[in-house]
Amino acid sequence: MEHNQWLLAIAKRMQAASFSPNSIERMTRELADHHQDILDASATNDSKDAIARLGTVDSILIAAEHQRTASMPWFHFLILPLLQLVFAWIALAAISLFVVNLFAMIGINANQASSPMLIRVPLGLLWSGVPIWAALFVSWRAYRRTLFRDNCFAWSAVAFCSIALAVATMQGPVDLPSSSMGHGFNTDFNIAWVCNPFRIVQILVPVAFLVVGYRKHNAPVVCFSN
């Protein structure tokens, strides 16, 4: 009973950490087998003792996350956050456009000063903050991932700098639907790449972090001690 709860907790935590169903199934199956082997080999049949030998839920999750990011840290801390940023950006922009258009359809235009403050302010925050909300969301996910790593400083720096760079380089989030709205959805995006010395510096700094981060990365170990 106790080991079932322990396995369930591991499965839930792995699910929350976006492990694939196959990985979760395999991990829990092997842990359950291992637990049974310990019981078979011991005279006491003490499940608590077997679980103590296998490790806490936290330690197994740390090891799992650690090994997941160990083989391709550049993917997990550079490429993945940027991909997530793009998806988060598109999803948030779509949601904000949908909400704004929905209000426009019922005659409330978020652009007009005459519209109620209660609607204008939240809509404005949602709309104008699309890149910031997306960046915060992806940064939070990257931060959670780096929590599980020993050598996390350099890679978290890489993740956050690349997110910041992408957000800083893109101009303007999404155009707020104009007052002519009300006959459908307006999906105007106003994203542009601007290159000037300041932005070049903005690019170079994270690249420097990337190089330092890569050089500092070592093959991680979680589970052995002497």
Partner 1 sequence: MAKRSNPDFLNGVPEMTILKLLESQPMYGYELVQSIRLRSDNRLNFGEGCIYPLLHRMEKEGLLSSRKETVSGRERIIYRTTRAGKKRLQVTVQAWQETVQGVQAVLLGVQYGT
- 124, 129, 182, 220: residue in contact with partner 1 (rule CB under 8 A): 220
**Least spacing, CB of residue 219 vs partner 1, in Å:** 5
Q: With CB under 8 A as the contact rule, which of the stretches 74-82, 181-189, 193-201, 215-223 interacts with partner 1?
A: 215-223
Amino acid type, 123? L
Contacts (CB under 8 A) with partner 1, residues 23-62: 23, 26-27, 30-31, 33-34, 36-38, 53-56, 59-60, 62
| CA max distance for the chain | 79
Under the binding rule (CB under 8 A), the answer on residue 217 touching partner 1 is no
Helix (H) or strand (E) holding 68: helix 57-70
Residue 219, judged by CB atoms within 10 A of its CB (0-12, 13-18, 19+), counts as exposed
Q: How many residues bind partner 1 (CB under 8 A)?
A: 39
- The tokens for 26 are 């395999």
CB contact set of 27 (below 8 Å; sequence gap of 6+): 10, 11, 14, 19, 60, 64
- CB nearer to partner 1: give 98 or 153: 153
- 3, 11, 24, 66: residue in contact with partner 1 (rule CB under 8 A): 66
Contacts (CB under 8 A) with partner 1, residues 139-178: 146-150, 152
Is residue 189 helix, strand or coil?
strand
- 116, 192, 215, 224: residue in contact with partner 1 (rule CB under 8 A): 224
Q: What is the DSSP letter of 193?
A: B
| Beta carbons of 135 and 167 less than 8 angstroms apart | yes
| Beta carbons of 64 and 72 less than 8 angstroms apart | no
- CB nearer to partner 1: give 17 or 90: 17
| Beta carbons of 124 and 96 less than 8 angstroms apart | no
Helix (H) or strand (E) holding 119: helix 117-128
- 67, 111, 128, 186: residue in contact with partner 1 (rule CB under 8 A): 67
The residue ranges that bind partner 1 (CB under 8 A) are 23, 26-27, 30-31, 33-34, 36-38, 53-56, 59-60, 62-64, 66-68, 70-71, 146-150, 152, 218-226
